[in-house]
């Protein structure tokens, strides 16, 4: 009787399927590594491109700024800054002179105004001025005079009541003749007072030929 042997098969090498599975896993790991490498290279190249672009943009801005500076310098030279400064100084002097001219009072005008309402037979001997508080205030004057006779003084008083006929009524305000006195020689002395509108004594009006305002 022949002995029975139980046969078994134990492969000495891994089966093909197992080897195939191992190889597949190994290939999958290699593919992931390759993707990361590609992404890293792309990011590195992009960063280099960004740095290069920023440098180029900075150089462009610097170059543009230099061009603008040169253009501005050329324009300033065309306008001649020295001449502009001289014109500004001249303009300031003109404005100052105009202001002084407008505010200046020509006292010589006062004598012209008095002569307009003084009749032939009357003479004024003294003149006192009351200093105004403000430039816009009226100028107070007081004078002493004499007339050839009493009728001359009376006529002078009538003239003072109709100053509009002599175009000085807007300058001479509240004219008053007071204290007429008969002198031993027959003349009549008197006092005179009035308020003078300073705008009527304007030096500017004198130059323009307008001696009294609001005529």
Q: Tokens 């190889």 map to which residue?
A: 23
Between 194 and 3, the higher pLDDT residue: 194
Distances (CA, A) of 73 to 70, 82, 211: 5, 14, 53
- State percent of the chain over pLDDT 90: 25
With 0-12 / 13-18 / 19 or more C-beta atoms within 10 angstroms meaning exposed / middle / buried, residue 106 is: middle
- In three-state secondary structure terms, 80 is coil
What pLDDT score was predicted for residue 189?
95
Given a contact cutoff of 8 angstroms between Cβ atoms, the answer to whether 110 and 141 are in contact is yes
Return the percentage of the chain with pLDDT > 70, whole number: 73
What count of other Cβ atoms lies within 10 Å of the Cβ of residue 174?
Answer: 10
Highest mean pLDDT among 21-25, 51-55, 66-70, 156-160: 156-160
| pLDDT score for 204 | 62
Maximum average pLDDT range among 14-28, 76-90, 124-138: 124-138
């Amino acid at each position: 009787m022949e002995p029975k042997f139980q046969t078994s098969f134990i492969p000495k090498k891994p089966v093909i399927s197992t080897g195939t599975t191992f190889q597949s896993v190994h290939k999958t790991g290699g593919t992931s590594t390759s993707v990361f490498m590609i992404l890293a290279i792309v990011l590195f190249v992009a960063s280099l491109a960004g740095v290069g672009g920023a440098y180029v943009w900075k150089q462009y801005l610097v170059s543009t700024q230099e061009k603008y500076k040169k253009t501005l310098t050329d324009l300033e030279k065309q306008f001649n800054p020295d001449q502009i400064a001289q014109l500004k100084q001249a303009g300031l002097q003109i404005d100052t002179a105009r202001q002084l001219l407008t505010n200046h009072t020509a006292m010589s005008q006062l004598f012209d105004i008095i002569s307009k309402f003084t009749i032939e037979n009357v003479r004024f001997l003294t003149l006192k001025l009351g200093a105004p508080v403000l430039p816009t205030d009226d100028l107070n004057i007081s004078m002493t005079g004499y007339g050839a006779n009493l009728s001359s003084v009376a006529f002078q008083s009538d003239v003072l009541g109709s100053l509009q006929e002599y175009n000085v009524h807007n300058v001479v305000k509240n004219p008053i003749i007071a204290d007429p006195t008969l002198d031993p020689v027959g003349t009549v002395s008197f006092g005179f007072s009035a308020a003078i509108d300073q705008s009527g004594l304007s030096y500017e009006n004198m130059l323009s030929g307008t001696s009294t305002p609001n005529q």
